Structure 1
Amino acid sequence: MPPPRHVIAARNGVAAVFGLNGLAVASWFARVPAAKDALDLSAGQLGLLMLTLSAGAVLALPVAGVLAQRFGAARTVATAALAVAAGLVLAGVAAGTWGWAPAVGVGLFAIGFGAGSCEVAMNVEAAAVERRLGRTIMPRFHAAWSLGTVAGAGLGAASARLDVPIAAHLTAMAVVVGGGTVAAVRSFLPDERAEGQSAAKGGGLRAAWREPRTVLIGLLVLVMAFTEGTANDWLAVAFVDGHGVSEAAGAASFGVFVAAMTVGRTLGTVALDRWGRLRVLWATMALAAAGAAVTVYADSLPWHWPASRCGASARASASRWA
């Protein structure tokens, strides 16, 4: 029996939100080299500036779940997406027009906080849709996020190639992300706010963290998230400053990374079914390490692109599926 039409609509809306969230963050990451040059920052100064985005994302994690529980996933996602859109505009204008790094930092904090909040709330909605469908569909939602990052990286590379000002580019992306998300959440399922579950879950959560395997899994996720985060923040800059390519080529290298991540997320379940979690985990972590090493130390561009591709698909398979 096919699922009800409103569940299908909710599935499509959630997929759109995932894709738009990926589009937003990739739009900024693809233009990091342009922002670095516009602000005349050293590598250390750029690192401190990028830290504001990470700080916003981390601070969003304990807050977003509470907001989704109180106000519903749709309202939380829409509000968070508008925060991301505002951050994109501020970061783009502050970098490309004002040349004022502190304002860029405020914009990046808004992007991080909004994207982090959106990620939590949209996963809550995705789980609800999956329950209604009665089959596993979560991997497709995360593949939609990766497709959004591919689109963002591609548009960023094209904008750099055509010398589109960073302010104009990020403002256009903000309109797409904000408007598209507000439209997409209208198809979300009605709120299903569970009552009286906090106390019941608390004891189980504490017991889980006393289990050594939980700590080990957490450490593995931390390592692979660090790998992805490093590539997100620094891959385009590393190609431009370290390997002497153009800003467009640097953005394109980031596009290769996120495209490979999309492939890894799409095919990860196939690998798991065939070889099992442990083998996939070790193989993909080794591949990620090799890809990172070749990306850093290779001397010619033809080596760089396969390296970033291998590292990305490995990171995606290891951290998401294993």
Structure 2
Amino acid sequence: MQLIQKQRISLSLFFFLSGFNFSSWASRIPTIKQALDLNEAELGTILLTMPVSSLIGVPLSGWLVSRFETRIPLAVGFLLNSLALSLIGLAPSPGMLAVVLFLFSLSMRIFNISVNTQAITLQKQFDRKINGAFHGLWSTGGIVGVGFTTLLISLGVPMVPHLISVSVVSLLATVFTFGYLLKNDQSPSGNKLSFKKPDPYIMYLGLLVFFAAVCEGGMFDWSGIYFQEVVKEEVFTVGYLTFMTFMALSRFVSDKIIDRIGMATTYMLSGVFIFTGISLAILFPTFWPAMIGFSLVGFGTASVIPMTYTLAGASKTYSPGIAISLIATFGIVGMLIGPPMIGYLAHAFNLKISFIAFALAGLMLIPITRLFFKMQRSEADPFKVEAKEMA
């Protein structure tokens, strides 16, 4: 087997396990909520720890991927993330849970920036798009993780042995696959941030990720609770599982869809799917309408982040690692606002009404997409820009 194929398989495994680990935690949120006797506002406050620590991890991640081979922070970040996962189930109080989630999210951010930088670098060695498939494997890992959690819940397996077993598998996988990751991939240029003037290219891409993250992060944290408290479904993980399944399906075909209809149309269709899916779940909060709605939201959110990270790799100002870390900042802010906002809105009104925020965030993808690609067309046609200036 060629080295490039071994590298792709190794990266694929890390994407898969990352999704598996994250969904293992997210699927247990209703269990943690009940175990620690938290209301929606208290849970929202604790969840706020994750995007805050993730935001702190962005400049650290950017420095690490520009200073070292990206496989170093990738492996260290994933090992710490796996360790933190096992500690989540052992947290005896809300305060300790917040501390563990801080470490969990910080290490996850370091890993994410590193693994996505490796993916963008590896994709340049292929003559076709493969980034969507990587993110599809992340979602597939999430699906398997939710399915595994659902099985354990139905069998009455406690949370602690569940999360510890997942951590052990992740630690072993890191040891065995580390040697096949990309080496000597530091970028020789574009590793310094400029604060003189915001780069509009990064700004628009960041806003797209921001609104997608509001939806995606909120669905990760609240879809299970929505099915438990609004849809009144006893097996509450089914909502999260549906969302993740259709997200994965969309990501595996997204590369071909983008080649056929283009990125601009794909972004706008994503916004339409999110708005339609959330509206359906809100207006008809019963099992099948909610299932269909969550499926549409999965389709809608799926391709935004892999598309945007691919575009980040084409930045003329920054190296791929720095560009991804900058855009990831917007995503973190989206996750900073999304899940806690839903908790506070649900506490003030109700959970069903609070989901309107996701529908509005999905709609925002449409005007931002139009602005970004209008700017791209203008930059590609300097005579057009000159004519506008003369007018």
- TM-score, with normalisation over the residues of structure 2? 0.73
1:24: Cα distance to partner?
1.0
Contact 1:7 1:133 in 2 (8 A): no
Aligned counterpart, 1:191: 184
Contact 1:16 1:181 in 2 (8 A): no
Separation in 2 of the partners of 1:134 and 1:206?
Answer: 36
Distance 1:181 1:235, change over 3 A: same
Structure 2 unmatched runs, 5+: 309-391
Q: Which moved more, 1:180-189 or 1:267-276?
A: 267-276
SS for the counterpart of 1:198 is coil
Residues 1:234 and 2:222 are matched in the alignment: yes
Aligned counterpart, 1:315: 301
Distance 1:262 1:183, change over 3 A: same
Residues 1:291 and 2:277 are matched in the alignment: yes
Choose which of 203, 208, 233 in structure 2 pairs with 1:215: 203
Choose which of 7, 10, 16 in structure 2 pairs with 1:10: 7
Aligned counterpart, 1:255: 241
Separation in 1 of the partners of 2:57 and 2:40?
Answer: 26
Higher helix share: 1
Map Cα deviations across residues 128-183 of structure 1 (whole Å, 9 max, x no partner): 32234454322221111111111111111112221211111111111112221232
Contact 1:85 1:174 in 2 (8 A): yes
1:189: Cα distance to partner?
2.4
Aligned counterpart, 2:337: none
Write the mapping of 1:53-132 to structure 2, written as runs, cut at 5 A.
53-94=50-91, 98=92, 100-132=93-125
Separation in 2 of the partners of 1:113 and 1:176?
Answer: 20
Distance 1:81 1:215, change over 3 A: closer
1:73: Cα distance to partner?
1.8
Distance 1:275 1:196, change over 3 A: closer
| Equivalent residue letter for 1:261 | M
Note the aligned Cα RMSD (angstroms): 2.1
Map Cα deviations across residues 238-291 of structure 1 (whole Å, 9 max, x no partner): 111222222xx2212211111111112122233333333333322221110121
SS for the counterpart of 1:244 is coil
Distance 1:309 1:110, change over 3 A: same
Aligned counterpart, 1:27: 24
Contact 2:7 2:181 in 1 (8 A): yes
| Equivalent residue letter for 2:123 | E
Distance 1:250 1:63, change over 3 A: same
Choose which of 151, 155, 168 in structure 1 pairs with 2:161: 168
Separation in 1 of the partners of 2:268 and 2:67?
Answer: 40
Choose which of 116, 127, 138 in structure 1 pairs with 2:131: 138
Distance 1:277 1:127, change over 3 A: closer
Q: Which moved more, 1:176-185 or 1:20-29?
A: 176-185
1:318: Cα distance to partner?
4.1
Separation in 1 of the partners of 2:203 and 2:113?
Answer: 21
1:83: Cα distance to partner?
1.2
Separation in 1 of the partners of 2:67 and 2:262?
Answer: 39
Structure 1 runs of 4+ with >6 Å offset: none
1:89: Cα distance to partner?
1.3
| Equivalent residue letter for 1:39 | L
1:111: Cα distance to partner?
1.4
- TM-score, with normalisation over the residues of structure 1? 0.88
Separation in 2 of the partners of 1:216 and 1:70?
Answer: 27
Contact 1:20 1:181 in 2 (8 A): no
Distance 1:193 1:284, change over 3 A: closer
